[in-house]
Chains A and B, each alone.
Chain A
Amino acid sequence: MKLATAALGTAPEESVAAEVGSALESVFDAVSATRAETTALLARVAADHRRPATVDLAALRPGLHLRLARNALVSGVGFVAAPGLLGDVPAWLEWWQSGAEGDVRPLLLDLDPDHSAYADYTHWDWFALPRDTGERAVAGPYVDYLCSDEYSLTLSAPVETEGRFAGVAAADVYLRHFEAAVLPLLRRLPGPAHLVNARGRVAASADPAHLAGSLTKGPDFAAVLESARPARHDGMRLIPCRGVPLVLVTSPR
């Protein structure tokens, strides 16, 4: 009898977890479109038997601008080349961001290691995870002091050319926008609820005891995501969000 109640009780949580998943899925759509366009572009250049250059990547701009305009959650989008891919520069981000007045602007970084202490971007999760796993990834929440100075989530996917890793297609979601999108969903639940990433870092919260950026300690969230099934830990309910590496955590009222 107790078990049956518990099973019924998870239904609204599962629907909220699914909706959080689909909110981020719309951002992954922007990543996939960028990935597809970049892959096609690099294939065309390879068919000409030449090395791609920054000027070739300019062809991505109309698509990037469109994605910034269409999805309110997306504040930055682009392609980040693997070092050595392009013939004219050692490293490059074809990256566009929305400005405060609804304008779009390119991100221009100093990527010369002799000048900048931040020239090497290959260790950031949004680059390293897709490169090392070959899978799409969600990095963060983290303070993005390289590109936006914002507390962010970055969704990314690997791009390949001629069977080799060529870089990542990615999109930034500022945490304040993510919170605005998911808070109404979390507040639909009867008890305090929050969302954490695989490492237990809180990504959004309707629970004053668990604020964004803090760690929820105890449960093995990576294992919950791996199993893709709801679990319990010390009275908390843990529900994986479909398709994205976030776990919905609800505490007893």
Chain B
Amino acid sequence: MNRQQMNGGARRAVFTPVDNRARVDAVVRRIGDAIELGLLADGEQLPGESELAGQLGVSTVTLREALMALRQQGLLTTRRGRGGGSFVSLPEVPGEERLKARLRGWGTEELRDLGDHWAALSGTAARLAAERTEPEDLLQLRRTAEELARAEDAAARGRVYGRFHVELAAAAQSARLTREQVALQTEVGALLCLVLADDEYREEVADRHRSVISAVQDGAHRTARELAERCVQESTARLIALRLTL
């Protein structure tokens, strides 16, 4: 191989960002989760490639690879020509099966790490909220805990579970913790549907949320932190246990 060739394609490939694969996976997860959660509806058209790449902060090459993976998973179809583009298509397989396929894309170590990050966010949020909360701040959290206890379909349960943790971060008066929690819920929300489909566990989570609210209201900041951490750890443990059966 001469020098000229080295300066060509192969050499350029050496100097592309190393985390490209991770970026593709991240985009696949993000859009796949949005479809599972019903944030993107069956038949909905995605924005154009360059616009979508810009919104997600990735190159169009990365985006194209991700769209291809989503097509292979049967979550997108592409139509060419006028009025063409990428469209959300929900396959016939039941939602639970598709979610399990998504969960298979996670290693148990990754799930454990996700749980650690989540527990750090929600535990700290609960502690700060207990220090900084007065009764009116708790109205939204109470409403969300009751909504979870009533939510019928699994996707709605996942969304409302996530909202509780976002509202907890907001009650801590921290914009940074809130932004982190919103980002984390876009990753974990779809997966949580899998463990929340069980009515008994859904009720347990609603109870755990109610006891976090009580500790926050009492200003019991250590207890609030422990309860929030335990709630998150229990959900992660269930996800990992489920992952090991797949």
Contact = CB atoms under 8 A, between A and B. Distances in A.
B74 interface: no
B170 interface: yes
Given A116-B39, A117-B163, A118-B163, A213 B173 contact: yes
Contact of B38 (A115, A123, A215): A115
Contact of A114 (B38, B133, B140, B169): B38
Contact of A199 (B136, B159, B163, B166): B136
Interface SS of A by simple majority: loop
Nearest to B177: A143
B131 A145 contact: no
A149 B173 contact: no
A153 B132 CA distance: 17
B60 interface: no
A201 B41 contact: no
A137 to B, nearest CB: 13
Contacts of A213: 132, 173-174
Contact of A143 (B38, B41, B160, B170): B170
A143 B182 contact: no
A201 B38 contact: no
A56 interface: no
A215 B137 CA distance: 12
A8 to B, nearest CB: 34
Nearest to B41: A115
A199 to B, nearest CB: 5
Interface string B193-220: 0000000000000000000000000000
Contact of B162 (A117, A201, A215): A117
Contact of B173 (A114, A118, A143, A200): A143
Given A149-B179, A215-B134, A143 B39 contact: no
A202 to B, nearest CB: 9
Interface in A78-128: 110, 114-118, 123
Interface string B134-154: 101001100100000000000
B26 interface: no
A150 B179 CA distance: 9
A165 interface: no
Nearest to A140: B173
Given A115-B41, A143-B173, A215 B132 contact: yes
A116 B139 CA distance: 19
Interface string A202-232: 0000000000011100000000000000000
B122 interface: no
A197 to B, nearest CB: 10
A141 interface: yes
A142 B63 CA distance: 36
A151 B174 CA distance: 7
Interface in B146-195: 159-160, 162-163, 166, 169-170, 173-175, 178-179, 182
Contacts of A150: 175
A142 B170 contact: yes
B170 A200 contact: no
25 contacts: A110-B39, A115-B37, A115-B41, A116-B159, A117-B163, A123-B139, A123-B140, A142-B170, A142-B173, A143-B170, A143-B175, A143-B178, A145-B166, A145-B178, A145-B182, A149-B178, A151-B173, A151-B174, A199-B134, A199-B136, A201-B134, A213-B132, A214-B131, A215-B131, A215-B134
Given A151-B173, A214-B132, 5 more contacts: A115-B38, A142-B170, A149-B182, A150-B175, A151-B174
Interface of B: 37-39, 41, 131-134, 136, 139-140, 143, 159-160, 162-163, 166, 169-170, 173-175, 178-179, 182
